[in-house]
Structure 1
Amino acid sequence: MKIKIAYKTAFLLTLFLAVSCDESILDQTNPNQFTVDQYYKDADQLTAATNGIYSEFYGAALWGRMMQYFCDGRADEHVPGGGQLETHNRQLLEGTYDNGNYTISVVWRGLYRIIHRANAVIQFGPQIEEIDAAVQKQRIAEAKFLRSWAYYYLVVNWGKIPVYTEIAQSPGDAQPLSEESVVYQLLETDLTTIQSDLAWNYTGSDAGRASKGAAKLLLARVYMHQGKYSDARDVLEDIYQNGPYSLVANYSDNFMEETEYNDESIFEIGFAGTGFTWSEDGNSSNARSNVMFQDYSPVAWRNCIPADKLLNDFERPYKGDAKEDPRLHATVYFSGDTFGPAESPIVLTDEMQNGNSSQFNGATVKASWKKYSPMYKLDPGGYYTSNINYRNMRYAEVLIKLAECENEIGTQAKAIEYLNEIRARASVDMPAYPTANYPCNSYDQVMRAIMHESYVEFSDEKLRELELARWRKNNKFSTLNPDPIDYIVSDPSKAYLVYPNEETTANTNID
């Protein structure tokens, strides 16, 4: 049986984040809605309020749709599948956006909705008296994790951002931009202090809740983004030595519905509904499904396809490597591959895949995304919504980040060991580093192996833009390992995004 958190938003506060709404809304009160003095009375209400934070994930602003375009547009894994790609998503992908870009604006709004909802739980949850203390601490810890998660994406992509640690009740509560160091200090404090109130993992009806492992891995991301590699290594080693996680034998189990919440999973964005909502907000009495594979499917819209650069980065004999990396065909559909129910497989053809072609192995081919695709069990046709969870954090990331930390502190041999654990996965079984095409005799050579391994292991998992931003911030690109985002190389100011016009208009504290 498939188990998810019941993402039911049981409350609607009359308070709204001032910088993300029309000021006139703040003067209205709906007598059918709860206000904070009526709410937060018991454990059920605190749990419902906490679930309301998670529910924002599956609205169209975030993981239901636009957050995925946002992450893909800031990386080098995707290119337009054809002229059907929406203009605002193409602008982000090509670096031609301005402060009116919808993709940028909607993700900003979605992330601050998470922060606003989390702040309500953090602010009012402690006042509840009729509640088990452990449950109360866990829910508040979850809220702090989710707030930290949202702030992490904001600070990585925008740098200086407004910080809210209490709910905003009027336009006068709009905050000025805080330095990155202030944001990171908040995240370090919260992600450290909440760990004692969380379990390593949750199962059953609590599967998908923020865990100790998720808090630790997010803290490691925060440390590494600041160049604090020794601190990050300590946290990652704790996960490695004491956590319940391990690599699953079958790489593809990380992207299928039947194998969610497996031993490799640390934090998942859960989908369990029967339909997609085009609404930005995640408010709903029902969990929702994900529309992204309608966007990327080879037999649907095919708005984005794998970049030639990614396709040709996978190891294979054509390039002189010892063998073809099995992760390629777990990631990408090529014409000639089969899909659909095992008892009646269907051959994918060029004609089924509208739009652009790719250059691979010196030939022109049609290639499309396969990761997270429901096509392994569905016939073509219809609307390709999916209930496959997105694995926002998985154990392979712990290994590859440990490798990076070891390389930074000068223990290259240990770094290579961690990389080879990933390559030794039973279904992957790639030759250990060093290889002929990936020698590991210097810092830069090991970094090249790390960047390659990250690229092919996590492609289309929405992690790449975070990694590129970290390497760029910490000056890790070099002649051997150049920055792959050409528009940022030519205009370094685009390493950070512009603030949405609606934000700078409403928040007079931002110039």
Structure 2
Amino acid sequence: MKKLLLIFTVFCSLLALVSCQEEELDLKNPNALTTDQFWVTPNDAELGVNSIYAMFYKDGLWARWMYFRLDLTSDEGFSTSPWIELADWTRFNYINYNFWEGNAVTWRDSYKAIFRANQVLANVPEIEFEDEARKQSIIAEAKFLRALHYYYAGLLWENIPMVLEPSTPDALPQQVSQEEVFAQVEQDLNDAFTDLPMQWDAENVGRPTKGAVKAMLAKVYMQQHRWPEAKTALDFLVIGEGANYSLVDNYKDNFTDINENNSESVFEIQFGDQRRGGTGEGQDASVSSTRAQFFAPRGIGWSDGQARFWLVDTFKEEQTVAGEIDPRLQHSLFYPSLFEDFGDRTYGREWEWGEDEAWFRKGARDYKRDNEDYFSGVNWRLIRYADILLRYAEVLNELEMTSEAYQYVDMVRERANMAPLADTYPEIGNDQDRFLDRLKIERVLELSGESVRWEDLKRWGDLEDQASVDEIAERDPDFNNFEIGKNIRMPIPQSEVENNPNLEQNPQY
């Protein structure tokens, strides 16, 4: 099946238990299931775990606003939205910490996803299954998804409440550090690994595999500079039992709906356009992405998010072995000379863009239509094998195995018809710092606009001293607003702090 159909509407009645004060109301809806009535059969368990996947389709997460946090806040993107407060939240001007689109909705939806995972983990173990293996894989899926959402919450806010049981309306969860958040992510992922398959059948494509677990483990280890553990996780994917991934021949296939869930996909969010409702909990709720609508060029979409033009210049610094422009540029960005460089008319027409303007192209649908809307069915490749190879090179370099790292960068470069790294930049040699500096550029060329840059900047320590932030500001003036020790993390929504005495606002906010 091309799309994993996620049935979750039955489960949504349970979510109402979180938002009402039963002791105060003492009202019971005879048409609504209670928790005890719901968690009875294996089908209930299937509905419960599917409801966690449904959170990918909510505004605060991967349907819309997560890209503003990860792509536009980084030095790859920015916003010139006429909605000033929205644009301010991509340039570190945080005034109202409760601003819905910039902060509060992503917080809410992250914890809704975690709540749904906690419901599965608390209730499914008590359900009798004839197929015990399926029961355990449901539990493992819930742990993977809880880990994924905690990873990104820890990446964005760092110091957050840790909730490992189904919430109640009067819960006041304790705040923990990013280190403790990542420790829980690690535990959940390791627990999930055993009971997830190497791959799913066609009807279940989109659920996490053992490879997806190891990829997420590598991410969390790398953010903590735990290089030996990161190497072990990546070994599985590159040279170990899980080395069943490969780069697709056509780079563009990673960003359209034509060749989804391909050999390069490690974990992919399944989007579709079969339902065209809103992003609430109704039966017609959308399972689509709105990224293209918000990031499309003027006249096609809202243009609330743009790419920094330094990306275009970076692509043009080195030619292919045939003396041509890096072909990845064509599929990564819209920019003024796109037609001149590649003969490519986007959305079926030429454009009159400012000479220093660019937009993200990945996930756009100009290859098949001349407009965008809120219902893009292009899957989002959250983790793909090219990222894994470049991460492996980074880890090997950190472990003083630089000479062994080159080959994995070259695998990525070769697809783009670029010469081997050592031939092009012999001055790097086995110098770890020089290799990392070049790898930072290689990651931009391969992965720009794919929501990895913010975590990269944090991992590399580029946001921790004024000199490196000043260097970033030369290519992204928004970083002139960046305050060391403060903006490396987002403020917690102020309403959460005021309502929970166990929460403290993040430092310097």
Moved more, 469-478 or 327-336: 469-478
Distance 1:344 1:306 in 2: 16
TM-score by length of 2: 0.88
Q: RMSD value over aligned CA atoms?
A: 3.0
Q: Deviations over 1:19-73 (max 9, x none)?
A: xx57579845433222111112222111111110110111222111112222223
CA shift for structure 1 position 320:
13
State whether structure 2 residue 395 is matched by structure 1 residue 397. Answer: no
Relative to structure 1, is the Cα distance of residues 383 and 182 closer, same or farther in structure 2, using a 3 angstrom cutoff? closer
Please point out which of 484, 488, 504 is paired with 2:497: 504
Q: Name the residue aligned to 2:177.
A: 179
Contact 1:14 1:26 in 2 (8 A): no
Relative to structure 1, is the Cα distance of residues 285 and 50 closer, same or farther in structure 2, using a 3 angstrom cutoff? farther
Relative to structure 1, is the Cα distance of residues 15 and 287 closer, same or farther in structure 2, using a 3 angstrom cutoff? closer
Distance 2:426 2:98 in 1: 43
Contact 1:144 1:190 in 2 (8 A): yes
Please point out which of 371, 383, 405 is paired with 2:362: 371
CA shift for structure 1 position 343:
13
Contact 1:16 1:169 in 2 (8 A): no
Relative to structure 1, is the Cα distance of residues 87 and 474 closer, same or farther in structure 2, using a 3 angstrom cutoff? closer
Unaligned stretches of 5+ residues in structure 2: 505-509
Q: For 2:36, what is the secondary structure of its paired residue? A: coil
Q: Deviations over 1:338-392 (max 9, x none)?
A: 7xxx999823221xx6xxx3xxxxxx25533221111101134x63631000000
Q: Name the residue aligned to 1:258.
A: 258
Contact 1:227 1:474 in 2 (8 A): no
Q: For 1:434, what is the secondary structure of its paired residue? A: helix
Contact 2:155 2:455 in 1 (8 A): yes
Q: Name the residue aligned to 1:207.
A: 205
The residue correspondences of 1:128-143 to structure 2 (distance < 5 A) are 128-143=127-142
CA shift for structure 1 position 247:
0.8
Moved more, 319-328 or 455-464: 319-328
Relative to structure 1, is the Cα distance of residues 15 and 383 closer, same or farther in structure 2, using a 3 angstrom cutoff? closer
Relative to structure 1, is the Cα distance of residues 62 and 30 closer, same or farther in structure 2, using a 3 angstrom cutoff? farther
Relative to structure 1, is the Cα distance of residues 483 and 83 closer, same or farther in structure 2, using a 3 angstrom cutoff? closer
State whether structure 2 residue 88 is matched by structure 1 residue 91. Answer: yes
Q: Name the residue aligned to 2:151.
A: 152
Count how many residue pairs are aligned between Structure 1 and Structure 2.
488
CA shift for structure 1 position 13:
4.6
Moved more, 25-34 or 498-507: 25-34
Moved more, 384-393 or 136-145: 384-393
CA shift for structure 1 position 228:
0.5
Contact 1:9 1:51 in 2 (8 A): no
Distance 2:45 2:465 in 1: 43
Q: Name the residue aligned to 2:273.
A: 273
2:417 partner letter: D
Contact 1:191 1:215 in 2 (8 A): yes
Q: Name the residue aligned to 2:434.
A: 445
Distance 1:323 1:439 in 2: 23
Relative to structure 1, is the Cα distance of residues 222 and 343 closer, same or farther in structure 2, using a 3 angstrom cutoff? closer
1:429 partner letter: N
Q: For 2:383, what is the secondary structure of its paired residue? A: strand
CA shift for structure 1 position 237:
0.7
Contact 1:323 1:430 in 2 (8 A): no
Distance 1:94 1:415 in 2: 35
CA shift for structure 1 position 416:
1.6
Moved more, 26-35 or 394-403: 26-35
Q: Name the residue aligned to 2:418.
A: 430
Q: Name the residue aligned to 2:189.
A: 191
Relative to structure 1, is the Cα distance of residues 17 and 430 closer, same or farther in structure 2, using a 3 angstrom cutoff? farther
1:313 partner letter: T
Contact 2:288 2:374 in 1 (8 A): no
Contact 1:448 1:480 in 2 (8 A): no
Relative to structure 1, is the Cα distance of residues 89 and 26 closer, same or farther in structure 2, using a 3 angstrom cutoff? farther
Relative to structure 1, is the Cα distance of residues 282 and 398 closer, same or farther in structure 2, using a 3 angstrom cutoff? farther
Distance 2:469 2:90 in 1: 24
Q: Name the residue aligned to 2:350.
A: 348
Relative to structure 1, is the Cα distance of residues 239 and 344 closer, same or farther in structure 2, using a 3 angstrom cutoff? closer
CA shift for structure 1 position 332:
1.3
Q: For 1:93, what is the secondary structure of its paired residue? A: coil
1:504 partner letter: V
The residue correspondences of 1:210-221 to structure 2 (distance < 5 A) are 210-221=208-219
CA shift for structure 1 position 129:
1.0
The residue correspondences of 1:11-90 to structure 2 (distance < 5 A) are 11-14=11-14, 21=19, 27=25, 29-80=28-79, 82-84=80-82, 86-90=83-87
Distance 2:228 2:217 in 1: 13
Contact 2:98 2:493 in 1 (8 A): yes
Moved more, 28-37 or 240-249: 28-37
Q: For 1:268, what is the secondary structure of its paired residue? A: strand
Q: For 1:2, what is the secondary structure of its paired residue? A: coil
2:428 partner letter: C
Distance 1:201 1:283 in 2: 31
Q: Name the residue aligned to 1:360.
A: none
Moved more, 392-401 or 291-300: 291-300
Relative to structure 1, is the Cα distance of residues 124 and 245 closer, same or farther in structure 2, using a 3 angstrom cutoff? same
Q: For 2:306, what is the secondary structure of its paired residue? A: strand
Q: Name the residue aligned to 2:457.
A: 468
Relative to structure 1, is the Cα distance of residues 318 and 190 closer, same or farther in structure 2, using a 3 angstrom cutoff? closer
CA shift for structure 1 position 472:
2.3
Q: Name the residue aligned to 1:112.
A: 111
Q: For 1:30, what is the secondary structure of its paired residue? A: coil
Q: For 1:391, what is the secondary structure of its paired residue? A: strand
Relative to structure 1, is the Cα distance of residues 321 and 495 closer, same or farther in structure 2, using a 3 angstrom cutoff? farther
CA shift for structure 1 position 191:
0.7
Q: Deviations over 1:392-449 (max 9, x none)?
A: 0111111111111111111111122211111112xx1111113556842311110111
Distance 2:411 2:222 in 1: 21
Q: For 1:393, what is the secondary structure of its paired residue? A: strand
Relative to structure 1, is the Cα distance of residues 207 and 392 closer, same or farther in structure 2, using a 3 angstrom cutoff? same
Relative to structure 1, is the Cα distance of residues 37 and 54 closer, same or farther in structure 2, using a 3 angstrom cutoff? same
Contact 1:276 1:290 in 2 (8 A): no
Distance 1:500 1:111 in 2: 13
Q: Deviations over 1:282-306 (max 9, x none)?
A: 6545552222211111222222221
Distance 1:480 1:106 in 2: 28
Q: For 1:94, what is the secondary structure of its paired residue? A: coil
2:348 partner letter: I
Q: Deviations over 1:443-466 (max 9, x none)?
A: 111011111111121111111112
CA shift for structure 1 position 83:
4.3
Relative to structure 1, is the Cα distance of residues 150 and 207 closer, same or farther in structure 2, using a 3 angstrom cutoff? same
Moved more, 34-43 or 50-59: 34-43
1:180 partner letter: Q
Q: Deviations over 1:93-122 (max 9, x none)?
A: 111013123211111111000000000000
Contact 1:161 1:179 in 2 (8 A): yes
Please point out which of 409, 431, 454 is paired with 1:419: 409
